[in-house]
Amino acid sequence: MTDVAKRAGVSAMTVSRALKADGAVSDKTRLRILKAVDELGYVLDQTAGTLSSKRSGFVAALIPSLNNSNFSDTARGMERALEQSGLQLLLGATDYVQEKEERLAEAMLRRRPEGIIVTGGDHSPKLRRLLQGAGVPVVETWDLPTDPIEHVVGFSNVGAMRALVHRLYQLGYREIGFLGGAGLRDTRGAARRAGYEAAVAELGLPLGRVIAFGEAPISMDHGSIAMTQMMAHWPGVDAVVCVSDLSAFGAMTECQRRGWAVPGQIAIAGFGDFEVARCCHPRLTTVSVDPMGIGMAAGALLWRSIEAMRAGARLAAEQHPIPYQIIERETT
């Protein structure tokens, strides 16, 4: 910066101002400075800026998986909401593993983010302490935790899956199965299973029609294998709901390969409204949860909270429920 200053015939302080959006520098001086910057190929060292200004200029977001359009849409929503703020979004993928979430959060916090967004409401005690002690706003997404850390933007996975099963009941299905993952890594998946179990109990439907295997992320292949197992164990099942559209798609193609008519012999419903659900043949019934809306709401809330914090205030914790919607297509 000193080199640039010398070349432009000003002080380093003036260069610093010229490189800020709102720096009070005359147009003539700024032009001279920008020319020097360009000639020298100078790139501001934000690391030093962060240290002296105590503003890192970024927020961290932790999502379970990059390669899941639900979460990457959420990330795009956050990016869009933060566009005007000047804050950069730094993403980390936890691979559905709490321990990795913890390590990643700590790595982010060492770089002093001005806010942090996490997925779900189920975190290790250490992570909760870390986030609460970080002194920056926190938003939990994709869930409605009973004991939130601070802000929340999400929906009830239990409620959404429960509503789907009730709808299938209305449509006349009487022996409804569930395909999902084993293990508790995917806490939203576990909540959806709980919603399924609550619904079949309420409706007096036969219990136990559950195939749970494999760890998150549950993929298309899982759905294929789980479907085969389901029909082997419970040949009378007339509809299956799946933890996500990906496994629902795998289940459906398995039916097609085996010559089981969908929805004639067996109905299938997914969760998440992925592109494959809209495009496949027949098209999948599913639950749409507006992932980009979650991201935009979370980003906007975090930004308001950061603005409050910069002004020395503190935004009271907010809860934003996001609506979901059952989308009936051709597989039911």
Which residues are near DNA by CB under 7 A? 1-2, 10-14, 16-17, 19-20, 24-26, 28-30, 44-45, 48-49, 51-55
Tell me which H or E stretch contains 292.
helix 291-310
User: How near is the Cβ of 206 to a copy of itself at its closest, in Å?
Assistant: 29
332 CB-contact burial (10 Å; exposed 0-12 / middle 13-18 / buried 19+): buried
147, burial (CB in 10 Å: exposed 0-12, middle 13-18, buried 19+) = exposed
CB of 197 to a copy of itself, least distance (A): 27
CB of 104: closest distance to a copy of itself in angstroms? 9
Q: Is residue 307 within the footprint of a copy of itself (CB under 8 A)?
A: no
The C-alpha atoms of residue 98 and residue 310 are separated, in whole angstroms, by 31
Interaction of residue 326 with a copy of itself, rule CB under 8 A: no
CA 122/CA 105 separation, integer angstroms? 14
259 binds a copy of itself (CB under 8 A): no
Helix or strand or coil: residue 142? Answer: coil
| Comparison of 113 and 154: residue with beta carbon closer to DNA | 113
- Considering only 2, 21, 84, 110, the residue that binds a copy of itself (CB under 8 A) is 110
Alpha-carbon distance of 105 to 218, in angstroms, equals: 24
Q: Could you tell me if 242 and 251 are in contact, meaning their C-beta atoms sit under 8 angstroms apart?
A: yes
Q: Which two tokens stand for residue 107?
A: 């790595």
**Closest approach of DNA to the CB of residue 279, in Å:** 47
Applying CB under 8 A, which part among 1-9, 169-177, 198-206, 248-256 lies near a copy of itself? 248-256
Q: Give the one entry of a copy of itself, DNA, none that residue 94 binds, where binding means its C-beta sits below a cut-off of 5 to 8 angstroms depending on kind.
A: none
The item of a copy of itself, DNA, none sharing an interface with residue 265, based on CB under 5 to 8 Å by kind, is none
Q: Are 255 and 288 in contact (CB under 8 A)?
A: no
Q: Which does 281 bind (CB under 5 to 8 A by kind): DNA, a copy of itself, none?
A: a copy of itself
| Residue 286, C-beta contacts closer than 8 angstroms, at least 6 positions apart | 245, 248, 269, 270, 271, 272, 273, 274, 277, 326, 327, 329
- Selected binder of a copy of itself within 10, 32, 33, 68 (CB under 8 A): 68
Rule CB under 8 A: which residues touch a copy of itself?
41, 43-48, 50-51, 56, 65-69, 72-73, 75, 88, 90-91, 106-107, 109-112, 129-130, 133-134, 219-221, 224, 246, 249-250, 253, 256-257, 275-276, 278-281
